[in-house]
Structure 1
Amino acid sequence: MTPTVNGTPLTRHGSRVSTLPTRPAPVRAATTHTAKPAPAPATRRPVPRPNVTPAPTIHTMIVCLPDDLPGEALTAHQLDKHFGVTGTLTAHFWAVPGLRLWQRHDIIGLRRGQPAPCAGGPVRLLDLPGMRHAAAVGAGIRHQIWQHAVHGTRPATGWPAFEARHLANPDRYPYDAATTDFHAQPRVNAMRLHAATNPGAGQPGIGELEMYQAGPLAYQHYSAATAVVGDALLTADGRKLAPVSDALADRVTYLEQALRYLDTLAPQQRLIAVAL
């Protein structure tokens, strides 16, 4: 047996032999099978709601009568038959001043007065320039009243924006919430208070909030144009011109189209106004 000195083995001649370190037995790495994560359940993407545009408010429609339309067709039940319009004739137009006796039979629904209101007639016998001028003057007065009523309030958002938001998501934004938010604006409250304490026709209405906020001259132009083309127009060939919504931009687009069409009409073209 080989003696050891200080823990080191000696050979038979007495020299030291360095001890080789023992190699540890190789250890096989355990093969672990990592479980694949289960696929996440497919999540349904919310279906985007289509943009809903509120329908425009149309009180008065101007109808261009075809040349061959008989006069007896201008009754309530015949309007629906010939034009698809459910309404009645309304005294929206003015007859020209100094209307001759033989010209009266060409005027539809002529009433007494000065200016003489009527439901329509040939363009040459309708005082369209006078109607536009009077509407612009009245609009200027209303805008001055409005400015005093809302003095000190911030610009407000018009009702069409709240209505569009409601229609886009009626469950999350009910109609009552939209109405409350619109009426909660200080400028709208100022207009409502003025109307409540000054009853009567011709007072600024909250339905024209955007038009008033556009400025006095813009509001005069808007009122003058609306006086002659109403809220919608049915052309002689059956095309309907109308604003997409009650928003000011859509109303202005309609007025541009309707006024351009009105300028192309012949003097003998007959117009009537229908209250819807």
Structure 2
Amino acid sequence: MGKTPRKVTPTTAVTPTATVRTMILCIPDELPRETLTAHQLDRNFGVRGTLSPRFWASPALRLWHHRQMIGLRKGSPACCAGGPVRLLDLDGMRQAAGVGAAIRHQMFSRVVHGTRNATPWHVYEARHLADPDAYPWKTAVADFHHQTRVNAVRMHNAATHGAGRIALDELEMYQAGCMAYQHHSALTAIAADALITAEGTKLAPASDAMADRVTYLEQVNRLLAAIDPDQRLLAVAL
């Protein structure tokens, strides 16, 4: 008698959720600035976090504008957690982020020169989540780290401190090319990792995959291009 065929149960594809470190909130008009505390953020938006000095205040900011700003700090540029769009230097933030990204990508190109493109982490994570027993977490981490390009970046980071380090979670964006990485960094400077509209709609990437990040950035960029200049934005670190 022949052997009974082993029944194979197909695994279900699992998409890891996106990493959200910073969220942008569009503050409804009825909420006064004084109520934007951690408790109120949780109550009004379901967001638990702390105010983040992410935005640049406009260079044209005057003394009487200060009361409209949230968490304004001294400096040049003056950073703040938020305020009306018309009092924020969003264009300056995008430009600076793009310039910084070009410098980082130049460094990245030197660091990984001669290595092949690496498979980004979210691919290994999805495989683990689809079948944790067959593909344990430790195996996924090891497979990701055993790639030559990943090790080149890790070696650079081990010898570097501060702003010169290369973020491995941006590996897929780096590999898309200098221009793509510049655009990604410039748009992310404003959009962060997720956004809640004044009507309460939450926008966020479906996953950490670059394609999902791009879709999110397209949505938020269209929203911000048409936003009311008096609309208040607030950055919250989660």
Higher RCO (CA < 8 A, seq sep 6+): 2
Q: Equivalent residue for 1:80? A: 42
Q: How does 1:138-217 map to 2 (within 5 A)?
A: 138-217=100-179
Report the structure number with the largest CA radius of gyration: 1
Give distance in 2, aligned partners of 1:118 and 1:51.
41
What's the offset of the Cα at 1:48? 3.1
Q: Deviations over 1:140-185 (max 9, x none)?
A: 0000000000011011100000000000010000000000000000
* Alignment TM-score, normalising by the size of structure 2: 0.96
Segments of 5+ residues of structure 1 without an aligned counterpart are 1-36
Question: How much is the aligned-residue C-alpha RMSD, in angstroms?
Answer: 1.7
Equivalent residue letter for 2:76: Q
Cα deviation, residue 45, structure 1: 4.5
Residue 12 of structure 2 is matched in structure 1 by 50
Q: 1:258 maps to which residue? A: 220
Cα separation, 2, equivalents of 1:208 and 1:93 = 21
Taking structure 1 as the reference length, the TM-score comes to 0.83
Q: What are the within-5 Å matches in structure 2 for residues 90-105 of structure 1?
A: 90-105=52-67
Q: Is the 8 A contact 1:62 1:271 kept in 2?
A: yes
Q: Distance in 2 between matches of 1:203 and 1:128?
A: 25
2:82 maps to 1:120: yes
Q: CA deviation at 1:202?
A: 4.1
1:205 and 1:121 map into 2 onto residues whose CA distance is 29
Q: Aligned AA for 1:154?
A: R
Structure-2 residue corresponding to 1:64: 26
The 1-side partners of 2:57 and 2:172 are apart by 32
The number of aligned residues is 238
The answer as to 2:182 corresponding to 1:244 is no
- Structure 2 counterpart of 1:231, from 172, 185, 193: 193
Q: C-alpha deviations, 1:40-85, integer Å up to 9, x for none?
A: 9x97844433221101111110000001112232101110000000
Q: Which position in structure 2 is the counterpart of 1:110?
A: 72
